[in-house]
Amino acid sequence: MIKPRCGRDFPIIYPFLILKDTPFFPALIDEVIDVASSIRRTAFRAAFPKTIPILTGFLFLGMAYGILMRTKGFHPLYPTVMAMTIFGGSLEYVAVEMLLSSFAPVATLLMALMIQARHLFYGIAMLDKYRGLGWKTPLLIFWMCDESFSINCTAEVPDEVDRGWFYLWVSLLNWCYWVAGATIGAQVGAVLPFDTEGLDFVMTAMLAVIFLDAWLKEKQHWSSVIGLCGSLACLLIFGADGFMLPTMACILLALTVLRGLIERAEGKAGDAV
Amino acid sequence: MSPMPFPQQVIVILLCIAATMSTRFLPFLIFTSKKPTPPFVQYLGRALPSAIFGMLVVYCLRNVEVLSGSHGLPEAIALAATFLLHLWKRQMLLSIAGGTAVYMLLVQLVF
């Protein structure tokens, strides 16, 4: 059943919903409602398989996070609420340390901004894809974690699937996985009956496959090489805790300097990647 | 339990939320659909994704110790398995599951 709300469904559905309480055309009304919910269903069927690796990874990592917060003595609601609102794995782990040390709001904010700065890049890359989707846009931005960004940025949404709903399902499902993982970890503790050591590699494997897939599809490899080499070089120079900001600066600089070259390589081979 | 009083804990969490959401929302607030996006930003939007994926792979592997422990061998072997599987079958889920399985076997049984 569709309730009237703003966004894509609204203009088509609304008049029929008014008609629904009248004796006119009940069969036609049912059909229209079916179409609207089938848009969502088709999008869900396309989106869910893409999120299966994240289902595994987020349940596991979320549980580890929930268990960690419990062992540090926090109330079990903390991981759930923080997973729902911050929704950024690495920062949430760091936030545990912040909560356990002395109160330093400025340092906290700067640290959090540094850890999350990479989202600025995601936003720039998703400007065209996420804009103009009505009420879905702010939700998609709110839920734009590394994994949702990676999937939505690379997914080739089939023509018969509604793009907005596809993005929304991917983002919503990922958010649910993470919140569910953190909650299970906090409430139940370790529940998996087998040895899970190494299961967190599922996130690395997924990003590696997405990287490889993008590599196979793109017409020039400048960006990929810049991203990979730039971050490796910065990791060697600055170490694991502080290499992301220098990496982002490197990438931005290299892309700016090589713009002419990259755009020519793109143009020569056809459409932009 | 945290030595921090509850209101301060709330502030820390709120700051983390604010930092996350400002970085997620800022590009969309600066480049609204009312004004045309500058060509350079459009170019960045096209060129950035591949660079970001390279960066995220390194980010996932940032804590691997190459000089000590297992020298990053499990990671290297599992990544190679993931890549080969993907080049062979082009089935994303299969490549991810296969690579993860190889890694779990390696860290649990071999290294």
Q: How far is CA A80 from the centre of its chain?
A: 18
Lowest mean pLDDT across A226-235, A249-258, B39-48, B74-83? B39-48
A255–B51: do the CB atoms touch at under 8 Å?
Answer: yes
Q: Which amino acid is at A74?
A: F
Provide, as residue numbers in chain A, all residues whose Cβ is less than 8 Å from the Cβ of B49: 125, 153-154, 214, 223
What was the pLDDT predicted at B2?
62
Q: pLDDT band at B81, cuts 50/70/90?
A: very high
**What does the pLDDT average to over A40-64?**
90
Sign of CA dihedral A43, A123, B92, A213: positive
Helix (H) or strand (E) segment spanning residue A181: helix A163-187
Provide, as residue numbers in chain B, all residues whose Cβ is less than 8 Å from the Cβ of A49: 93
**From the CA of A116, how many Å to the nearest CA of chain B?**
6
Mean pLDDT of chain A: 84
Reply yes or no on whether the pLDDT at A151 is more than 90.
yes
Provide, as residue numbers in chain B, all residues whose Cβ is less than 8 Å from the Cβ of A195: 104, 108
Which residue among B26, B54, B95 places its CB closest to the CB of A209? B95
> Does residue A109 or residue A241 have the better pLDDT?
A109
A224–B82: do the CB atoms touch at under 8 Å?
Answer: no
Contacts for A94 with CB less than 8 Å, ≥ 6 apart? A111, A112, A115
| DSSP states along B60-99 | HTTT--SSSTTTTHHHHHHHHHHHHHHHHH--HHHHHHHH
Instruction: Tell me the percentage of chain A whose pLDDT exceeds 90.
Output: 42
Distances (CA, A) of B15 to A31, A63, B18, B19: 48, 23, 5, 6
Residues A174, A48: Cα–Cα separation, whole Å: 10
Lowest mean pLDDT across A77-86, A167-176, A235-244? A235-244
Q: Is residue A87 within 8 Å of A112, Cβ to Cβ? A: no
Q: What is the pLDDT of residues B44-72, one digit of tens each?
A: 888 888 998 898 899 889 888 888 888 89
Q: pLDDT band at A163, cuts 50/70/90?
A: very high
Q: Is residue B51 within 8 Å of A232, Cβ to Cβ? A: no
What was the pLDDT predicted at A212?
93
Provide the number of CB pairs (under 8 Å) joining chain A to chain B. 260
**What does the pLDDT average to over A186-205?**
79
> Does residue B2 or residue B5 have the better pLDDT?
B5
Q: Does A245 touch chain B (CB under 8 A)?
A: no
Which residue among A88, A146, A206 places its CB closest to the CB of B96? A206
Is ipTM > 0.85 here? yes
Q: Does A261 touch chain B (CB under 8 A)?
A: no
Which tokens go with B48?
A: 């950035």
Instruction: Tell me the percentage of chain A whose pLDDT exceeds 70.
Output: 84
Which residue among B37, B44, B108 places its CB closest to the CB of A198? B108
Q: Does A142 touch chain B (CB under 8 A)?
A: yes
Q: pLDDT band at A240, cuts 50/70/90?
A: confident
> Does residue A4 or residue A260 have the better pLDDT?
A260
What was the pLDDT predicted at A235?
94
